[in-house]
Chains A and B, each alone.
Chain A
């Protein structure tokens, strides 16, 4: 069956531009996560959606970052006025019922801000 997909796989943008990253979770998974991994660093939690509950945005590094999950399925992570320090791999994961379940990760989007 299809796994978690993300698009684009690579994104190069200029400083100050806005970018949108997309995540398609596994069908039926109620939980969706966004993580960021900077070069040589560990994973950094960004945001967590669980069903119809208000998302846990505690990991978003600044108000330039926002995310939506439409219809409980596809999610978009938006970074406004990108900075060079935003360069990283952005990973999306989904799980069936929440954090207690195995998370399935997408391949990630590599964002480079010039």
Chain B
């Protein structure tokens, strides 16, 4: 099993700033997904990027994927206090999917 591994583990920024989180993985993948988890709640799917895609946008989110470096980044622009959460990336490895420990993002108002 191969996990997505996010960094940094924790990130604290001011409202309005951009937040960048990174994820690395170890094997070949078909897709990589980013999720958000608010404290004490279930996971919310944010965005899926396929291995043949290099960049994808969704609202204030921008995800990049570099399969040669086996890494992905999630950029949240113009952050809001409501973006405070833990962010996870997950890869699929043929028939299974694993999560890393996540990045804890705190956006201060």
Chain A interface residues (CB < 8 Å from chain B):
33, 35, 41-45, 48, 50, 56, 58-59, 91, 93, 98-100, 102-108
**CB closest chain-B residue, reference A56:** B96
Interface centre among B88, B96, B97 (most CB of A within 10 A): B97
Chain B residues with CB under 8 Å of A91's CB are 42-43
Q: How far is the CB of A57 from chain B (nearest CB, A)?
A: 11
Q: How far is the CB of A19 from chain B (nearest CB, A)?
A: 19
Contact of A100 with B31 in the complex, beta carbons under 8 Å: yes
Contact of A99 with B93 in the complex, beta carbons under 8 Å: yes
Residue B94 at the A interface, CB < 8 A? yes
A100 to B49, CA, bound (A): 11
A108 to B101, CA, bound (A): 17
A43-B33 contact given A91-B43, A99-B96, A107-B42, CB 8 Å threshold: no
A99 to B30, CA, bound (A): 9
Chain B residues with CB under 8 Å of A100's CB are 30-31, 92
Chain A residues with CB under 8 Å of B93's CB are 99
Chain A residues with CB under 8 Å of B97's CB are 33, 45, 48, 99, 103
A45-B102 contact given A102-B48, A105-B42, CB 8 Å threshold: no
